[in-house]
Structure 1
Amino acid sequence: MANILVVDDEHGIRDLLSEILNDEGHSVDLAENATQARAARAVGPYDLVLLDIWMPDTDGVTLLKEWAASGLLTMPVIMMSGHATIDTAVEATRIGAFSFLEKPITLQKLLKAVEAGLARSQARATQTAAAVVSASALAQPQAGALATSLAGEGVAELPVSHQDFDLDRPLREARDGFEKAYFEFHLAREGGSMTRVAEKTGLERTHLYRKLRQLGVDLGRSKRN
């Protein structure tokens, strides 16, 4: 099951895509404009985004540029439009869009594009997880030595993450495990201060609380530690 965001200002299209993707076993969030899409993306990453080009507040290509410039374009994005020109499709691809679907979208083309996009997302996540495991294996001995050295000098011991990442499990479970360890590390380092953790992670407090509840992070334990 993948976590997919559908961004389209047409209510009928949002409902249709949501129904199809839900029938395929995916979890689907909906946004009717760029403002809602920004808020949804700020809460956490998606495995795939279906993004309409022509929207009333901010067009899809501009939103794609924003995500690319801010480092948030970490998932495949499939652009959708019934009026876009070839130049627009080429520009979106150049920015980082995975593919382009022309409306009206047939069921076969939708499912084929989604399947290809999710395959790309899973391959990227596997590479990222492998890099994290490699970096963690190198960093833990150094971090442990630093913490021991500081403790010997009367300095408070720094939090060191000992999270083991099992790559032989579904993508979403592996990603949630990494995110939980990430937030628990920052909560421990900041003494449970949600304000400082929000600043460190770049999330608004409301979105941070929602994310921590979603991941099952024990806030009371972080404060006690």
Structure 2
Amino acid sequence: MPVTPTVKAVVFDIGNVLIEWQPERFYDARVGEARRREMFATLDLHGMNDGVDRGDHFHDAATAFAAANPDWHAEIMMWHDNWADMASPAIDHSVRLLRALRAEGVPCLALSNFGIQTFEIAEKRYDFLHEFDQRYISGHLGVIKPDAEIYARLEADCGVAPGDLLFTDDRIDNIRAADRRGWQTHLFDGPRAFAGRLIAEGLLTPEQAV
């Protein structure tokens, strides 16, 4: 018998779900693995990026961090100057799933840790970022996952009960935060498994989920 969907909306993370986000891979190609390992062990680059995701101005944050760490100035500015190359490529199968869901009338929301300026860069490169029914971007909200507040803000605004949301994210801490709020969740480890979940939920057919 056909599955009756219990999901009323699908919530997508963006980084490593719809767009690959692997800064370490970028730096390995640019400065070599040894230099990259030393840099990431010495500097809290991801902490700098978390500040941007909370709303810090991207250029100001990068230049201040580079000035504070002059031995790594060139490498830090690569994070700013080559950000679009780090946030690439699109995960094409995931994009097809997003579009298939929307073609079936399933509301699709974005809940992503993204800076204001970096999201503007991504929007210019990836048309599908304009295709969500609603977008909840941390830089605009001033709070990042897995803080409970960002999930509460989505719940209050989207009009869908927490138990009717299906959320996919590649980070287990973000998934656990959603679990605590009663959301349905899927830890993203590739689009094929997520496609299987959407089929199992009755949201897409196997033919639609390829």
Classify the TM-score, shorter chain.
0.3 to 0.5
Q: Looking at both structures, which has the greater relative contact order when contacts are Cα pairs under 8 Å and sequence separation is at least 6? A: 2
Normalized against structure 1, the TM-score is what? 0.30
Larger radius of gyration, structure 1 or 2?
Answer: 1
Normalized against structure 2, the TM-score is what? 0.32
